[in-house]
Amino acid sequence: MINTKETPHIKPNGVEIAETILLPGDPLRAKFIAENFLEDYECFNEVRGMLGYTGTYKGKKISVMGTGMGPASMGIYSWELINVFGVKNLIRIGTCGAMQEDIALYDIILGMGAATDSNYGHQYNLPGQFPLTASYGLLEKAKNIADEKGQKVHIGNILSSEIFYNADSTAMKKWQDVGILSVEMESVALYWNAIQAGVNALCILTVSDHLLTGEQTSQEERQTAFTKMMEIALEIA
């Protein structure tokens, strides 16, 4: 079906956006996925350089699009994808910084729940705190696919922070002490938007940095080397 809808940030120019979409932060990672995993792909967005593509994977129509960094950027793109374009399954595939000793570079983390220091959820005016959790159906599928592939994954709580350079040097240690597996910056907005709209969301992360050891991967690796995470996300669809 020809897509005639558009927003200030997404202009598909007639290209369909699938009900299932993969959401890397880096738009170049979206381009890499389209070129290396999807068949018959078409570009549906180039606004602000935030590349989006729709193609097929094993006969299933799938889209992939960059979201940028932080809850504000993810909040805009995921809200429009859900509420304007009718996307039902949103799978963030991103990088993170490990916060526990038993997690190594390139390990995969499934964000079962997201703690946050962001105020993104204040717009809902709830009389208390709300647990931000992934959709169980997507989480279960991701775990089963990882098991079939013999891929070990860590499942648990992640920190979705809106602060990259934190002035409080003790903040990460406090999150580490309560068992947070890793830190990233987008899942809070993705989970909130999905929960509020009644659609499905999951955050799949590859460890690119380690906050305890100081180890880190290169920029090129962040764009192209995390294929195990990408394959798990594609197989979910």
Catalytic site positions = 209
Q: Is 25 annotated for ligand binding? A: yes
Q: Is 186 annotated for ligand binding? A: yes
Q: How far is Cα 50 from Cα 66, in angstroms, rounded to an integer?
A: 5
Q: How far is Cα 126 from Cα 109, in angstroms, rounded to an integer?
A: 29
Contact 34, 55 (CB under 8 A): yes
Q: Is 93 annotated for ligand binding? A: yes
230 Cβ contact partners less than 8 Å away, ≥ 6 residues apart: 22, 33, 37, 93
Q: Is 222 annotated for ligand binding? A: no
Q: Is 92 annotated for ligand binding? A: yes
Q: Is 147 annotated for ligand binding? A: no
**Helix (H) and strand (E) counts in the chain:** 7, 10
Residue count (the chain): 237
Q: Is 29 annotated for ligand binding? A: yes
Contact 111, 180 (CB under 8 A): no
Q: Is 184 annotated for ligand binding? A: yes
Q: Is 172 annotated for ligand binding? A: no
Of 64, 48, 78, nearest to 187 by C-alpha is 78
Q: Residues at the annotated binding site for a purine D-ribonucleoside?
A: 9, 184-186, 208-209
Q: Residues at the annotated binding site for phosphate?
A: 25, 29, 48, 92-95
Q: Residues at the annotated binding site?
A: 9, 25, 29, 48, 92-95, 184-186, 208-209
